Amino acid sequence: MLNETPGQTISAATRDRVLAEAKRLGYRPNSAARALASGHSRIILLVLPEWPLDFSMRAHLDEASLALDEAGYSLVTMTPHPGGHALPLWETLRPDVVMGMMPFSAEQLERIRASGVAHIIPDASAEEVSREEQLGFAGGPRLQVAHLVDRGRRRLAFAGSPDHRIADLVQQRRALARESAIDLAGAPLRADEDVTETSVARTISDWVDAGIDGVVAYNDDIAALVTGAALRAGVRVPDTLAIVGHDDTPIAKLFVPSLSSVRIDSAGLGRYMAQLALSAATGSAAPAAGPESDAVLVIRETT
């Protein structure tokens, strides 16, 4: 009765009395038992890289969680740590779907499959997925380079982040910027360095001496760091040095001068990932990526 099994012959009056007493006693169905019986936990496990939980990531996770909640599913996240000893959540939660923000290693895939998870996204290892597929919605660096070229800039530099947690993502954007510089500017990047608060002043000086006239920044934080250092050194932005960031986070609008940037619809991508997980969990057709997959250039004062 409490499980609402169809075909029961219990009278409505008896049913109402039992349900009222269960409510008075605070009875709640055992979700773990239900999961074992039905084979569905209604949990989506999202495996995150060891990235900082920045503005874009929070928007992505918030929207994915809301979309799944509306469908009756819970989103749980985990971040595997090198040398960690905690039991992976795919072994303890028995999620309906395990998703990765980045492709899993072959070893991770083997362990997830061995735990009995029926649906894994992506279901190929990082070694089997091409770099273009791994990048996913990553047209931003090409937009950055194209915008600088449209502004007449030809001697371009890439400003990266030394944060080891995002080394893979920095390298992906760097690789795309390099390819785009050759395709669109007709020359390779003239300079390519990670910048920090202590190194950026020297980097700007070297770049200006080398005739660098456009900077592709890994993200808006790096763009702000480069812009601030350039202005303190008396370098005119954008006349001498044009700078474009990535992610269009709040700092891009608040910084003075405001930062040109690439906008990614993080919330839209969160909804898309939720729909992708739901299609795997329910056996429905996979969603097609829509406008949320498009990177959009936002032009402001630094270009």
Phi, psi values for residue 41, rounded to 5° = -95, -15
pLDDT at 17: 79
Distance CA 144, CA 41 (A): 43
**Residues contacting 24, CB < 8 A, separation 6+:** none
Question: What's residue 147's pLDDT?
Answer: 98
pLDDT digit string (tens) for the chain, length 303 residues? 445 555 556 777 777 777 777 677 665 554 444 544 445 789 999 999 888 888 888 888 999 999 999 999 999 999 988 777 888 899 989 999 999 988 888 888 999 999 999 899 988 765 565 444 444 456 899 999 999 999 999 999 999 999 998 898 899 899 999 999 999 999 999 999 999 999 999 999 999 999 999 999 999 999 999 999 999 999 999 999 999 999 999 999 999 999 999 998 888 889 999 999 999 999 998 888 766 667 899 999 999
pTM of the model: 0.78
Q: Sheet holding 43-47: strands in order across?
A: 74-78, 43-47, 97-100, 119-121
Number of Cβ within 10 Å of residue 287's Cβ equals 14
Angle (CA) 217-127-193 rounded to 5° is 20
- On whether the CB atoms of residues 153 and 242 are closer than 8 A, the answer is yes
Give the pLDDT confidence score for residue 41 in this predicted structure: 84
